[in-house]
A = this chain, B = another copy of it.
């Protein structure tokens, strides 16, 4: 059994940004020379999530609108009351809504690998979603298999 791990760095450009990392993951699987197994994609940040869905620009607008309905940016979040937060100094970003969106999306996804490539249907893309951009970020990709 072999394990191969690599980071995918990127720069988000807008407050909410869907970064299509499908090709980067395919490249990492190819580099790993692992033919059969699975890939775990993990987000080492608390205002990001991983989603596998259709990369269609209008649909991404729908996704943002749905997440806005549940956790609107123009609402009051206790997390943003810096005066009463008791932990070490925050970085001062009012990003309560970003954490809430990340809560609904989740921090990891697993994709299967066969014949050295991802098992994805043609309409599936893998997105790293930033909910508190613009920032330099990364996701971690691990291939495990034979």
Contacts and interface: CB of A to CB of B under 8 A. Distances in A.
A110 B108 contact: yes
Contacts of A103: 51, 53, 63, 66, 105
Copy total for this chain:
3
- Interface of A: prevailing SS: mixed
Contacts of A84: 58
A62 B112 CA distance: 31
Give the interface residue-count category, chain A: 35 or more
A140 B40 CA distance: 16
Contact of A59 (B1, B61, B96, B112): B96
A13 interface: no
A56 B70 CA distance: 20
A129 to B, nearest CB: 10
A51 to B, nearest CB: 6
